[in-house]
Amino acid sequence: MVVLKMMGIKVEKYYASEVDKDAINVSKFNHGDRIEHIGDVETLSPEKLSRLGPIDLLLGGSPCSDLSLVNPAPKGLYGGTDGRMQLERMPHCS
């Protein structure tokens, strides 16, 4: 949200699919009620997304523990659960 503001891009609605309580608290502290938290990305159905209305910009990142070089046993994009989230998000994009 900070970068969009710096670029002069007005954000009418900002949805976040975050599950980490600390990350949610940080976003609430930094942005107040301007972010609507919509729950776990794995529970988002096409129906739920369509009720949110058209979404012009989708940004995302998955947890990176399965991809990180500091992980002593990384499972990669296809072997673990964290990396797979990147692939699961794609069907919702059109």
Is the pLDDT confidence value at 94 over 60? Answer: no
Q: Give catalytic residues, as residue numbers.
A: 64
Mean of the per-residue pLDDT values of the chain: 79
pLDDT bucket at 10, cuts 50 / 70 / 90: confident
- Mean pLDDT on 59-75: 73
Instruction: Select from 39, 51, 31, 49 the least CA-distant residue to 94.
Output: 49
- Mean pLDDT on 75-86: 65
Backbone angles phi, psi at 37, to 5 degrees: -85, 125
The answer to whether the pTM exceeds 0.85 is: no
pLDDT bucket at 56, cuts 50 / 70 / 90: confident
d(CA 37, CA 11): 15
